[in-house]
Amino acid sequence: MAILFTENSRVVIQGITGNEGSFHCRESIKFGTKVVAGVTPGKGGTFFDDIPVYNRVIDAVEKEGANASGIYVPASFAPDAILEAIEAGIELIVCMTEGIPVIEMMKIKHALKGSNSRLIGPNCPGIATPGAGKIGFIPNFTLSKGHVGVISRSGTLTYEVLWQLTSLGIGQSTAIGIGGDPIVGTSFVDLLALFERDPQTHAIVLIGEIGGSAEEEAAEYIKYNVTKPVIAFVAGRTAPPGRRMGHAGAIIAGGRGTCQEKVKALEDAGVVVEQNPAEIGLRVKKILERK
């Protein structure tokens, strides 16, 4: 079953003829993704490999049945690309683009309310469901089919955790990078609720980082709503206050958003928090063996 990205997902790639879009489109097809169309304004009526290219997302929806979108366009065009996908009724929109201004994301969050669309990202590595396909940057070789759901604010740590799990023979139901910006389309809490209801998911790995309150909100939700084991890691233990560390959202301001605060909140909620990123996979294995 998995969540959000399933065997029924039919993907349109926005920016399919660009360097990023073309490369990751081909990689996703190798992973089994049903890419049914591409969109590049001005190139409608052409083909990318054997995939039809349209000028508008609505054309991909009406002619190819697209219900999921991968957005690989520069930050200056990404807000309009997201809004176009929302207006076309795309159910799952995944935006990998980094550098979208916060004010533009506020407009997008408003547009998402009352729509049929869910946004993953921006500034994220994407989503992958082994056996169904993927949108985004997650390397194919790190993934294997199984029963652990993975949610992460970090791109590279997502890949590292997935590879650890796969190397230990532990497959994944769905892996999702929610994005490292201050405002993202889908939160830890949103995805925890979906994984809790998913019978294919037997345990959840949550990768957080300093800044914001996403991990504390996740801890509060887990405490009262999640019955499955949750294993977490929080990056940024040694980060100095007031300095951005990688992601736009990874900054400790006013003494809040520290690693220590987040770890305490998660542990108080019954989450197993691993301190060493190299040991996350082994910690998951031990917990699954106890079940």
Cα–Cα distance, 272 to 267 (Å, whole number): 6
Annotated catalytic residue, options 24, 110, 147, 247: 247
**Residue burial 211-242, b: 16+ Cβ < 10 Å; e: rest:** bbebbbebbebbeeebebbbbbbbbbeebeee
Virtual torsion, Cα 178, 13, 84, 112, nearest 10 deg:
-20
Virtual torsion, Cα 63, 65, 70, 74, nearest 10 deg:
20
Q: Is 202 known to be catalytic?
A: no
Q: Tell me whether residue 43 is exposed, middle or buried, using C-beta atoms within 10 angstroms of its C-beta: 0 to 12, 13 to 18, 19 or more.
A: middle
Strand order of the β-sheet with 68-71 is 47-48, 51-54, 35-39, 11-14, 68-71, 92-95, 118-120
Bond preceding residue 139 cis, omega within 30 of 0:
no
End-to-end Cα spacing for the chain: 21
Nearest to 145 by CA among 1, 17, 276: 1
Q: Is 257 helix (H, G, I), strand (E, B) or coil?
A: coil
Cα–Cα distance, 39 to 212 (Å, whole number): 34
Nearest to 262 by CA among 227, 232, 231: 232
| Plot region of 237 (φ>0 → left; ψ -120 to 50 → alpha; else → beta) | alpha
For 6, other C-beta atoms within 10 Å of its C-beta total 15
Active-site residues, by number, are: 247
